[in-house]
Amino acid sequence: MINRYKHYKTLIFIVLLNVFSSILHYVHNVIYFDHYPEPDWLSPQLVDAFWFVMTPIGIYGLIVAVKSQMTKGRWWLYLYALMGLLSLLHYNIETDNIMTVTMHSLIWFQAICAFWLIAYVTMYFKNKSGH
């Protein structure tokens, strides 16, 4: 059992980094909600609620993957990463708000972590099929 966790050490790190980056971005987004470019229908409560939906998906995907069901777990991890990439939609909203360096940094930190998760899971399966 211990060897299994050592094998998945990088995946565990990347998923936890995604959780951490989303905490930073979502907390900042909720606190400074009026300063972020957001669609009219979105509220701080919905932003907060979405985090509590997406994060268990990532944790579940990690647990399934580590329990030797990487094939099933990868789809949950892809879904989690794609949900993390939704932060980039801030750039698709027309607004008079000017985003700060902190806002840009948190959005891109979360997006880069999500891209890293997608790349790692994809490379894992590419390497598995190559053997």
- Count CA atoms within 13 Å of residue 55 on its CB side: 18
Give me the pLDDT at residue 4, please.
Answer: 59
What are the structural domain ranges in the chain? 17-30+43-130
Please list the pLDDT of the chain residue by residue as tens digits (131 residues). Answer: 556 566 789 999 999 999 999 999 999 999 999 999 999 999 999 999 999 999 999 999 999 998 877 788 999 999 999 999 999 999 999 888 789 999 999 999 999 999 999 999 999 877 765 54
In angstroms, how far is CA 126 from the centroid of its own chain?
21
b (16+ CB within 10 A) / e for 26-65: bebbbeeeebbbbeeeeebeebeeebeebbebbeebbebb
Per-residue model confidence (pLDDT) at position 131: 45
pTM score > 0.85 for this model?
A: yes
